[in-house]
Amino acid sequence: EVPKAFVVKAPSVGAEDEAALARQMQKHVEDLKAWYKWIAGGIEFIDVIPKSPSGKILRRMLRGKEKEKRRQTGSKL
């Protein structure tokens, strides 16, 4: 497993700004955190963060979504 960021953009940020925003976020993390905490898995922009009725983030849904995406792309061999 590698760190990956799931980000919900503000409505004021356009779709054309996603790449620049991702680069800024990546650089910010690399400047402030140790190398093993860097976002090696990338940054994915999503519409809404899945939450439980009590308001907790459902990390298992995000992990499952990512596993399914990696399974569809195939292995790296």
Domain count of the chain? Answer: 1
pLDDT tens-digit map of 61-74: 999 998 898 888 87
Report whether pLDDT(15) > 90.
no
Report whether pLDDT(27) > 70.
yes
What percent of the chain clears pLDDT 70, i.e. is strictly above it? 96
CATH of the domain at 47: 3.30.300.30
Strands, DSSP E only, in 1-77? 5-7, 43-45
**pTM more than 0.85:** no
Residue-number span of the structural domain to which 53 is assigned? 5-73
Q: What are the CA-CA distances from residue 73 to residues 3, 6, 23, 39 (Å)?
A: 19, 19, 23, 20
Report whether pLDDT(16) > 80.
no
Output the pLDDT for position 69: 87
